[in-house]
Amino acid sequence: MTAAGAPGAGRLRRWLERERVFKWLPFVPVQGLFALLLLPNFLLLVYLSLLSWRITRGAWWNAAFTGLDSFQRALEDSRFLWALARTFAFAAVAVPLELLLGFGLAMLCRRSFRGRRIYTSVFLLPMMIVPAVVGYDLSMLLIDQGPFNQLLSLFAGRTVTVRWLSEYTPAQLAVIGADVWQWTALTFLVFTAGLAGLPEEPIRAARVMGASRWQIFWHIELPLLKPVIAIAVILRSMEALKMFDYPMLLTQAGPGNATETVAVYLWRVGWEFARVSDAAAMSLILLVAVAMYILVAIRVLRRERRRLTEEGAV
Amino acid sequence: QTPAGTTADARAVAGAKAYMQSKGLTSLKLNMMMPSIFTAGSTVEMANFEKETGIGVNYFEVGILQIQAKAMSEAVAKSGSFDFWIGDPISLPDLAEAGLAKPIDDLVARGKADLDDIVPGFQEQARYKGKTYGLVADGDNFILAIRKDLIDAPGERQKFKAKYGWEPGCPDTYEQWYQLAEFFTRDPKGAGVPEVYGAMGYRARSWGWRWWLQQFYAKGGMPFDDNLKPLIAGKEGLESLRDYIALTKFMPKDILGWATPQAYPFYAGGNAFSIMTYPSIAIAAEHPERSKIVGKNRYCLVPGYVVGGKLVRRSLQGYGNIFYVSSYAKHPEAAYWLAQYLTSKEVSARLVSGPNSVYDPYRRSHLTDARVIKARTKEMVETHLKNAQVMAPMILIQGAVEYNDVLDQNIQEALLGKITAEDALKNTAAAWEKITNQIGRKQQIEGWKAIKPAFPTKNVPD
Amino acid sequence: MRQRGFPLFPLVRHTLLLAWAAVTLFPIYWMVMTSFKQAAEWVTWPPRWFPHEPTLVNYVKVLTPGTSTFELGRQTLKILKPIGDSLIVSGIGSLIAVLLGSALAYSWARFGTGGRSYPYNILSIRMVPPIVIAVPFVVYFVTLRLLDTYTGLILVYLATSLPYVIWMMLAFVEEVPVELERAARVMGASRWKVLRSVVLPLTASGLVVTFLFVFILNWSELLLAMTLTNTEVSTIPIQLNKFQSANEGRDYGPQAAIGTIATLPVVVLGFLIQKHLLRGFSFGLLRK
Amino acid sequence: MAGIRLERLGKVFGATRAVDGIDLTIPDGEFVVLVGPSGCGKTTTLNMIAGLEVPTSGDIWIGDDRVTDWEPGDRSLGMVFQSLALFPHMTVFDNIAFPLRVKRVAPAEIERRVRAVGDTVHVGHLLAKRPATLSGGEAQRVALARTLVVEPSVFLMDEPLSSLDAKLRVEMRTEIKRLHGTLRSTFVYVTHDQAEAMTMADRIVVMHQGRIQQVGRPLEVYGNPANRFVAGFFGVPAMNFVEGELHAESGGARFVAQALGLSLPGQRLGSGPAVLGVRPEHVRLVSAGESWPAAVSLIEPLGDATLVFLDYGGPSSLVAKVDAEEKLAVGDRRSFTFRRDRIVLFDAATGGRLST
Amino acid sequence: MAGIRLERLGKVFGATRAVDGIDLTIPDGEFVVLVGPSGCGKTTTLNMIAGLEVPTSGDIWIGDDRVTDWEPGDRSLGMVFQSLALFPHMTVFDNIAFPLRVKRVAPAEIERRVRAVGDTVHVGHLLAKRPATLSGGEAQRVALARTLVVEPSVFLMDEPLSSLDAKLRVEMRTEIKRLHGTLRSTFVYVTHDQAEAMTMADRIVVMHQGRIQQVGRPLEVYGNPANRFVAGFFGVPAMNFVEGELHAESGGARFVAQALGLSLPGQRLGSGPAVLGVRPEHVRLVSAGESWPAAVSLIEPLGDATLVFLDYGGPSSLVAKVDAEEKLAVGDRRSFTFRRDRIVLFDAATGGRLST
Ligand SMILES: Nc1ncnc2c1ncn2[C@@H]1O[C@H](COP(=O)(O)OP(=O)(O)OP(=O)(O)O)[C@@H](O)[C@H]1O
Ligand SMILES: Nc1ncnc2c1ncn2[C@@H]1O[C@H](COP(=O)(O)OP(=O)(O)OP(=O)(O)O)[C@@H](O)[C@H]1O
Ligand SMILES: [Mg+2]
Ligand SMILES: [Mg+2]
**Residue pLDDT tens, chain B, 462 long:** 788 888 999 999 999 999 999 999 888 989 888 887 666 566 778 888 989 999 988 878 788 878 888 899 899 888 888 999 999 899 999 999 999 999 999 999 999 988 889 998 898 889 998 899 999 988 889 999 999 999 999 999 999 999 999 999 999 999 999 999 999 998 877 666 788 999 999 998 888 999 999 999 999 999 999 999 999 999 999 999 999 999 999 998 888 888 887 888 889 989 999 999 999 888 888 888 878 999 999 999 999 999 988 999 999 998 888 999 999 999 999 999 999 999 999 999 988 887 777 788 999 999 889 999 888 888 999 999 899 999 999 999 999 999 999 999 999 999 988 899 999 999 999 999 999 999 999 999 999 998 888 899 888 888
| CA distance between the termini of chain C | 17
| DSSP 8-state symbol, D317 | P
CB burial of residue D178 (10 Å; 0-12, 13-18, 19+): exposed
Q: Beta partners for D272? A: D246
**What atom of ligand 2 comes closest to residue E41's alpha carbon?**
18
C-alpha to C-alpha distance for A208 and B32, rounded to whole angstroms: 75
Q: How confident is the model at residue C90 (pLDDT cuts 50, 70, 90)?
A: very high
Which range among A56-60, A243-247, E164-168 has the greatest average pLDDT? A243-247
Helix (H) / strand (E) element for A261: namely none
Contact B62 C249 (CB under 8 A): no
Kindly list the structural domains of chain C, giving each domain's residue range(s) and its CATH number in brackets, ordered by start: 80-280 (1.10.3720.10)
Q: How confident is the model at residue A309 (pLDDT cuts 50, 70, 90)?
A: low
Q: What is the ipTM of this complex?
A: 0.85
Which pLDDT does position B110 carry in this prediction? 92
Residues of chain C in contact with residue E163, where contact means CB-CB under 8 angstroms, are: none
CA–CA distances in Å: residue B106 to residues A151, B111, B113, B279, E87: 62, 9, 11, 32, 78
* Residue of D40, D156, D163, D188 to test ligand 1 pocket, by largest number of atoms within 8 Å of CB: D40
Which pLDDT does position B151 carry in this prediction? 93
Q: How confident is the model at residue C246 (pLDDT cuts 50, 70, 90)?
A: very low
Residues of chain D in contact with residue E219, where contact means CB-CB under 8 angstroms, are: 301, 303, 324
**What atom of ligand 2 comes closest to residue E192's alpha carbon?**
25
Tell me which residues have their CB closer than 6 angstroms to ligand 2.
E 13-14, 16, 18, 36, 38-44
Q: How confident is the model at residue C244 (pLDDT cuts 50, 70, 90)?
A: low
Residues of chain A in contact with residue E69, where contact means CB-CB under 8 angstroms, are: 1-3
The answer, for D195 touching chain C at a CB cutoff of 8 Å, is no
Q: Between vectors from CA A134 to CA B207 and to CA A147, what angle results, nearest 5°?
A: 80
Which pLDDT does position A314 carry in this prediction? 31
**DSSP assignment of E9-75, as one string?**
EEEEETTEEEEEEEEEEE-TT-EEEEE-STTSSHHHHHHHHHTSS--SEEEEEETTEE-TTS-GGGS
pLDDT at residue A128 above 70?
yes
Q: How confident is the model at residue D195 (pLDDT cuts 50, 70, 90)?
A: confident
CA–CA distances in Å: residue A44 to residues C122, C128, C136, D104, D352: 21, 15, 6, 62, 88
What average pLDDT does range E267-289 have in this prediction?
Answer: 87
Interface A-C, measured as beta-carbon pairs within 8 A, has a size of 297
Q: How confident is the model at residue C3 (pLDDT cuts 50, 70, 90)?
A: very low
Which pLDDT does position D270 carry in this prediction? 78
Distance (Å) from the C-alpha of residue A12 to the closest C-alpha of chain E?
A: 14
For residue range A231-260, what is the model confidence (pLDDT) as tens digits?
A: 888 889 988 998 998 888 888 887 888 999
| DSSP 8-state symbol, A210 | T
Which pLDDT does position B384 carry in this prediction? 92
Distance (Å) from the C-alpha of residue A18 to the closest C-alpha of chain E?
A: 9
| Ligand 2 centroid – CA C74 distance (Å) | 71
The answer, for D39 touching chain E at a CB cutoff of 8 Å, is no
Q: Is there an atom of ligand 1 within 6 Å of D191 CB?
A: no
Distance (Å) from the C-alpha of residue A22 to the closest C-alpha of chain E?
A: 13
Distance (Å) from the C-alpha of residue C67 to the closest C-alpha of chain A?
A: 23
For residue range A144-164, what is the model confidence (pLDDT) as tens digits?
A: 778 888 888 888 888 777 888
| Residue located nearest, by CA, to atom 7 of ligand 1 | D13
* Residue of E44, E162, E206 to test ligand 2 pocket, by largest number of atoms within 8 Å of CB: E44
For residue range A207-219, what is the model confidence (pLDDT) as tens digits?
A: 888 888 889 999 9
Q: How confident is the model at residue D277 (pLDDT cuts 50, 70, 90)?
A: very high
For residue C46, cis peptide bond before it (omega within 30 degrees of 0): yes
Contact in structure between A93 and A72 (CB atoms under 8 Å): no
Q: Is there an atom of ligand 1 within 6 Å of D18 CB?
A: yes
C-alpha to C-alpha distance for D138 and B418, rounded to whole angstroms: 66
pLDDT at residue C63 above 80?
no
The answer, for E137 touching chain C at a CB cutoff of 8 Å, is no
| Ligand 3 centroid – CA D157 distance (Å) | 10
Contacts of B220 (CB under 8 A, 6+ apart): B236, B305, B307, B308, B312
**What atom of ligand 1 comes closest to residue D43's alpha carbon?**
22
CB burial of residue D158 (10 Å; 0-12, 13-18, 19+): buried
Chain A residue with the nearest C-alpha to that of C45: A145
C-alpha to C-alpha distance for D233 and D76, rounded to whole angstroms: 33
Q: How confident is the model at residue C288 (pLDDT cuts 50, 70, 90)?
A: very low
Amino acid at E9: L
What average pLDDT does range E282-311 have in this prediction?
Answer: 89
**Residue (of B64, B111, B448) closest to B261 by Cα position:** B64
Distance (Å) from the C-alpha of residue B191 to the closest C-alpha of chain C?
A: 14
User: Phi, psi at residue B320, to the nearest 5°?
Assistant: 85, 100
Contact A197 C287 (CB under 8 A): yes
**DSSP assignment of E270-327, as one string?**
-SEEEEEEE-GGGEEEESSSS-EEEEEEEEEE-SSEEEEEEE-SSSS-EEEEEETT--
3-state secondary structure chain B: CCCCCCCHHHHHHHHHHHHHHHHCCCCEEEEEEEEHHHCCCCHHHHHHHHHHHCEEEEEEEECHHHHHHHHHHHHHHCCCCCCEEEECCCCHHHHHHCCCECCCHHHHHHHCCCCCCECCCCHHHHEECCEECEEECCCCECEEEEEHHHHCCCCHHHHHHHHHCCCCCCCCEHHHHHHHHHHHCECCCCCCCCCEECCCCCCCCCCHHHHHHHHHHHCCCCCECCCCCECCCCHHHHHHHHHHHHHHHHCCHHHHHCCHHHHHHHHHCCCECEEEECCCHHHHHCCCCCCCCCCCEEEECCCEEEECCEEEECEEECCCCEEEEECCCCCHHHHHHHHHHHHCHHHHHHHHCCCCCCCCCCEHHHHHCHHHHHHHCHHHHHHHHHHHHHEECCCCCCCHHHHHHHHHHHHHHHHCCCCCHHHHHHHHHHHHHHHHHHHCHHHHHHHHHHHHHHCCCCCCCC
For residue range E128-156, what is the model confidence (pLDDT) as tens digits?
A: 999 988 888 889 889 999 998 988 989 99
Q: Beta partners for D19? A: D11
Contact C142 B78 (CB under 8 A): yes
What average pLDDT does range D310-335 have in this prediction?
Answer: 89
C-alpha to C-alpha distance for E210 and E10, rounded to whole angstroms: 8
pLDDT at residue E341 above 50?
yes
The fraction of chain A above a pLDDT of 90, given in percent, is 32
Q: Between vectors from CA B243 to CA B241 and to CA B244, what angle results, nearest 5°?
A: 60
What average pLDDT does range D109-119 have in this prediction?
Answer: 92
The answer, for C110 touching chain E at a CB cutoff of 8 Å, is no
CA–CA distances in Å: residue B187 to residues A167, B148, B182, B255, C35: 22, 19, 11, 17, 33
Q: What is the mean pLDDT of chain A?
A: 86
Q: Beta partners for D5? A: D25, D61
**What atom of ligand 2 comes closest to residue E82's alpha carbon?**
27
**Residue (of C128, C85, C134) closest to C238 by Cα position:** C85
Chain E residue with the nearest C-alpha to that of D231: E303
